[in-house]
Amino acid sequence: MAGSPTVRRKRLSRRLKELREARGMTSEEATKKAGFSRGKLTRMERDEWTRPNPKDIATLLDVYKVADEGEREAYLALAKQARQRGWWVSYSDALGKGAYVGLETEASSIRTVEALLIPGLLQTEDYARAVVRASGVTDTDEIDRRVEARMLRKQVLARPDAPTFWAIVDEAALRKVTPDLADQLQHLLDVQRTNLRIQVLPDSMGPHAAMAGNFVVLDFPEDPSVVYLESAEDQLFLEDPVELRQYELLYGYVQSAALSVDDSRAFIQERLNAIT
């Protein structure tokens, strides 16, 4: 599996906090013994850093009295991996900090609920271009960059170790696919396989549990799950166990309200037939 520095950094942050707590030290005590500036350790433990400094990690290992060479090397190797740059860094103009893409890259399972758009990993180039234009972007070069970045994201589903991807899409998103973008609906039919499935939430179901907004649940082989929420202004990552359980329950409610995979395929096919 391709390693993601985003995931490695989050893992390092979590393990450093666990190590401090296991030693019975407060953040203030550890900061003082390490000779760090005020707030530095807190930022490290909250994953509010970009490129971890292995020297800082070594200092903390001394403070926490980690003497085993194998354990020390594991922490330092994790710090070095967390300092690497993902491919998305070169697309910061289109993807921002790329925090979500960094998580998406190493997820073992991605479950998404979308109300008005086809999920990004399932978008065709023409559909993605139409969505970017609709968002108000008019510069041709900027549109091209954003679409190119989105197409590169899709490579995660083409890998031999591709994550399981399960999308629940509201009928409203399908109805917004115009005749000139009919290939998008065909793509939704063609792309499905054992580990990639799509369910449709039909209008006939009436109100459903996810009407408050879209969300994505990402699971990882070695790390806690993350819930991702996005608005026009901000991105939010939820990691609290209580919040995770709430969204797991919410996803279950939405999935139970959606059509089966087979019925969803038939629904998409009917919509495709209607516009072609």
Same domain, 36 and 103: no
Predicted confidence at residue 196, as pLDDT, reads 97
Same domain, 61 and 103: no
Same domain, 22 and 144: no
Predicted confidence at residue 93, as pLDDT, reads 79
Same domain, 108 and 69: no
Predicted confidence at residue 233, as pLDDT, reads 66
CA dihedral in degrees (132, 2, 79, 100; nearest 10)? 20
Predicted confidence at residue 51, as pLDDT, reads 85
| pLDDT, tens only, 249-260 | 999 999 999 999
- pLDDT-based confidence at residue 1 (cuts at 50, 70, 90): very low
- pLDDT-based confidence at residue 21 (cuts at 50, 70, 90): very high
Of the residues 36, 61, 82, which one is the last residue of a structural domain? Answer: 82
Q: Residue 63 pLDDT more than 80? A: yes
Q: CATH no. for residue 69?
A: 1.10.260.40
Q: Residue 82 pLDDT more than 90? A: no
Q: Residue 231 pLDDT more than 80? A: no
What mean pLDDT is reported for the chain? 92
Same domain, 120 and 148: yes
In three-state secondary structure terms, 114 is strand
The CB density around residue 135, as the number of other CB atoms within 10 Å, is 10
Q: What is the mean pLDDT of residues 266-272?
A: 98
Predicted confidence at residue 87, as pLDDT, reads 81
In three-state secondary structure terms, 58 is helix
Q: What is the pTM of this model?
A: 0.83
Same domain, 153 and 31: no
Same domain, 37 and 146: no
**Tokens read off for 76:** 């330092």
Q: Which residue range(s) make up the domain with 13?
A: 5-82
Q: What is the mean pLDDT of residues 227-238?
A: 83
Predicted confidence at residue 85, as pLDDT, reads 81
* Comparison of pLDDT for 111 and 8, the residue scoring more: 111
Of the residues 49, 66, 82, which one is the last residue of a structural domain? Answer: 82
Predicted confidence at residue 2, as pLDDT, reads 47
Same domain, 73 and 94: no
Lowest-confidence pick of 82-91, 129-138, 184-193, 212-221: 82-91
Same domain, 264 and 183: yes
Same domain, 114 and 234: yes
| pLDDT, tens only, 30-62 | 999 999 999 999 999 999 888 899 999 999 999
Q: Residue 129 pLDDT more than 90? A: yes
| pLDDT, tens only, 170-215 | 999 999 999 999 999 999 999 999 999 999 999 998 888 888 889 9
Number of domains in the chain: 2
Long-range Cβ pairs for the range 192-196 (8 Å, 24+): 192/261, 192/265, 195/162, 195/163, 195/164, 195/165, 196/157, 196/162, 196/164, 196/165, 196/166
Of the residues 82, 103, 131, which one is the last residue of a structural domain? Answer: 82
The CB density around residue 160, as the number of other CB atoms within 10 Å, is 5
What percent of the chain is predicted at pLDDT more than 90?
79
